[in-house]
Amino acid sequence: MRPVHPCWRVMNFRFVRSSLRHFLLFFRTVFGRGRPNGIMVQLRPLTKPKILKKRTKKFIRHQSDRYVKIKKNWRKPRGIDNRVRRRFKGQMLMPNIGYGSNKKTKHMLPSGFRKFLVHNVKELEVLMMSNKSHCAEIAHNVSSKNRKIIVERAAQLAIKVTNPNARLRSEENE
């Protein structure tokens, strides 16, 4: 047997390692990442664009840091001599249209879904065709009995629910 150059051994090892990685990736997707049968696979959106915020800090009201009586909530300054309204250098910034979100990612949750408020099962079935882009959020005034029905129906339709555990009591307490 003729001697093999050490360079070929390294390249061969890399090939085997990458082949093994691809096989494991295929195996996991076909047979489901080794989850027990009782746990449902987590629903993912069709596309998940990177959500980029132009500004993450909140705009605070002028002189709210100076006086306790002036709350932090933004109010537009309207004074004739106001430095913030006149946009002097070094003053706090005012919100304007340029800080708006990208249309593609506006109202999008970090998971990549958009919220849709659901009050009953009939409204849930509206999401049947758009379950890859929208998720359901059960309204606050829905009873625990109806919540249970909505969550079960959502699982059948493969619709993600943002608040499935709200107002559910454990079996032990009942």
The confidence score (pLDDT) of residue 103 equals 92
Token pair of 152 as six digits: 């079960």
The confidence score (pLDDT) of residue 39 equals 42
Cβ burial of 150 (10 Å; 0-12, 13-18, 19+) is buried
User: CB of 120 within 8 A of CB of 150?
Assistant: yes
pTM of the model: 0.65
The confidence score (pLDDT) of residue 48 equals 86
pLDDT in tens, the chain (174 residues): 566 665 555 555 555 566 656 655 555 555 554 443 334 567 888 888 898 999 999 999 999 999 999 999 999 999 999 999 999 999 999 999 999 999 999 999 999 999 999 999 999 999 999 999 999 999 999 999 999 999 999 999 999 999 999 887 765 455
Give domain limits for the chain.
6-52+102-157, 60-94
The confidence score (pLDDT) of residue 18 equals 61
Q: Tell which phi-psi region holds residue 33, choosing left (phi > 0), alpha (psi between -120 and 50) or beta.
A: left
The confidence score (pLDDT) of residue 15 equals 56
The confidence score (pLDDT) of residue 168 equals 77
